[in-house]
Structure 1
Amino acid sequence: MAVQAQFGGLLLPPYAVEDQMRALKDYGVLLSAAQSELTRNVVVGGGGAAAMPLPSRKRHRREDEHRHYNVDVPLPGMGSLAADPTAAASTSGRAPADAEVDALVRAECEQLRAGLEAARARQRRALLARAAASVLARRAREAEARLEAARRRAAELDEWVRLAAAEAQAWCGVARANEAVAAGMRATLDALLLRSSAAAAGREGEGDSSEPGPEDAQSRCSCCYVEDVEATGTAAATPSPLWNGRWACRACGEGEASVLLLPCRHMCLCKACEPRTDACPVCSGAKNASIHIAPS
């Protein structure tokens, strides 16, 4: 309050305490240097005598007083005089600091951006790897399913082939059995044919020309009556033409008799005449079925 009253109620500007103290110290140093120069050049006495310096002890005491006065008691307007250089220095030093801070921030931003880009790239690669792995796994499962289906199909085909082979073997056995039966029947018919031819030749020598009945022809041709024919030896038979040493067809007389008629069991027709004949030419019995016998 005393200082304020002494300097006419003037107030120092609201600068920071450190800035004010620094400005006061700098201003005190300047005033001390100026005072020391004046003290060094003062004239003692008159008559233009040469200037003599004061004793060093007295000069040091005055310098300390002036320094103490200048530091502890501010002069009017000193705040505005001292604040301007500090503000200018602070403003001039702030631009490089701001530039350095901006450069540091930009460098940190660049590093952060590079790190984010690298993280995004790693994440994309991981996503692509997982997608590729899932696609490969799905394709592998589909391939395994197709392979399993192919294996099942191959097993089914193998089973069918085995069954077909077994059935073919069975049919081959049946065919061999039928061939054996046909061969036996053929042998029986050949034997009956030879006997009938021998009996007819004997009767022609005796001049007997009687015609046999249907029952006698059936008994001669049937294998069931072989023993009866051999036992009696008196049954008459009509001589039948031969075709290359075998029994000829009773319908056309040109082809070989190779069709067995049922139910009379007479083998008296060839393959060409069998479709056109409805009755047996030997016994005139109705034809219900026929069996083609391969020549031996």
Structure 2
Amino acid sequence: MEAQAAKQRQEIDQYIRLQNERLRLVLQEQRKQQLAMLLKKIESTTQVLLKQKDDEITQANRRRMELEDFLRKLEAENQAWQRVAQENEAMVVSLNNTLEQYREKVSCCLINGADDAEHLCSCKACEAVLDCCPVCRTPKKASIEALIS
């Protein structure tokens, strides 16, 4: 009887070991499946996030290119305005020089007020009503008729 009880214990132990091994394999397979599902879910979420980031990068690059184009246009416009400003400054200098030359010429006539201005500046009909030189405003003392052919 004891031999049979020992044999039954061995069979029961063998059966329990077999069931433990099967349970371990089933649990291992379930864990493997759960990990695979979790990995798929993480991959799916990661793909969505990567797509969003790629879209954001594309949009940022597009915006950067737009801003660079805008900057180039502004720089070109700035250069054009600087050119206009330089041209205007040159014109102001030229006009100031011309004005200064005219003032020197007029002041010469005014300083030498005792002398005649000697400008040929009116016709015979207008000469009669003029009391000063229309060019330098020197008072007229006399007039001379010039015959120009």
Q: After TM superposition, is the score higher than 0.5?
A: yes
Which of residues 131, 134, 137 is equivalent to 1:237? 137
Query: Is 2:91 the counterpart of 1:202?
Result: no
Distance (whole Å) between structure 2 residues aligned to residue 165 and residue 122 of structure 1: 62
Distance (whole Å) between structure 2 residues aligned to residue 151 and residue 175 of structure 1: 35
The within-5 A match list for 1:126-205 is 126-203=36-113, 205=114
Distance 1:231-1:135 versus aligned 2 partners, 3 A rule: farther
Q: Deviations over 1:129-151 (max 9, x none)?
A: 22332233233222212211110
Q: Identity, % of aligned pairs?
A: 21
Count of residues in Structure 1 that have an aligned counterpart in Structure 2: 126
Q: Which 5+ residue runs of structure 2 have no aligned equivalent?
A: 123-132, 139-149
Amino acid at match of 2:85: A
The within-5 A match list for 1:85-104 is 95-104=5-14
Equivalent position of 2:34 in the other structure? 124
- Residue 161 of structure 1: CA displacement? 0.6
Q: Deviations over 1:41-74 (max 9, x none)?
A: xxxxxxxxxxxxxxxxxxxxxxxxxxxxxxxxxx
Q: Deviations over 1:2-55 (max 9, x none)?
A: xxxxxxxxxxxxxxxxxxxxxxxxxxxxxxxxxxxxxxxxxxxxxxxxxxxxxx
Distance (whole Å) between structure 1 residues aligned to residue 109 and residue 39 of structure 2: 102
Distance (whole Å) between structure 2 residues aligned to residue 114 and residue 190 of structure 1: 109
- SS in structure 1 at match of 2:112: helix
Distance (whole Å) between structure 1 residues aligned to residue 23 and residue 68 of structure 2: 66
- TM-score when scaled to structure 2? 0.69
Amino acid at match of 1:140: L
Distance (whole Å) between structure 1 residues aligned to residue 98 and residue 78 of structure 2: 30
Distance (whole Å) between structure 2 residues aligned to residue 188 and residue 145 of structure 1: 64
Q: Deviations over 1:71-94 (max 9, x none)?
A: xxxxxxxxxxxxxxxxxx8xx876
Distance 1:131-1:230 versus aligned 2 partners, 3 A rule: farther
- Residue 95 of structure 1: CA displacement? 4.3
Q: Deviations over 1:189-232 (max 9, x none)?
A: 111100111001121x35x9xxxxxxxxxxxxxxxxxxxx9642
The within-5 A match list for 1:2-17 is none
Distance (whole Å) between structure 1 residues aligned to residue 77 and residue 47 of structure 2: 45
Which structure's CA Rg is the greater one? 1
Q: Which 5+ residue runs of structure 1 have no aligned equivalent?
A: 1-88, 209-228, 239-296
Distance 1:119-1:230 versus aligned 2 partners, 3 A rule: farther
Larger fraction in strand: 1
Answer 1 or 2: higher relative contact order, Cα 8 Å, separation at least 6. 2
- TM-score when scaled to structure 1? 0.37
Larger fraction in helix: 2
Aligned alpha-carbon RMSD (Å)? 2.9
Amino acid at match of 2:11: V
Distance (whole Å) between structure 2 residues aligned to residue 187 and residue 230 of structure 1: 22
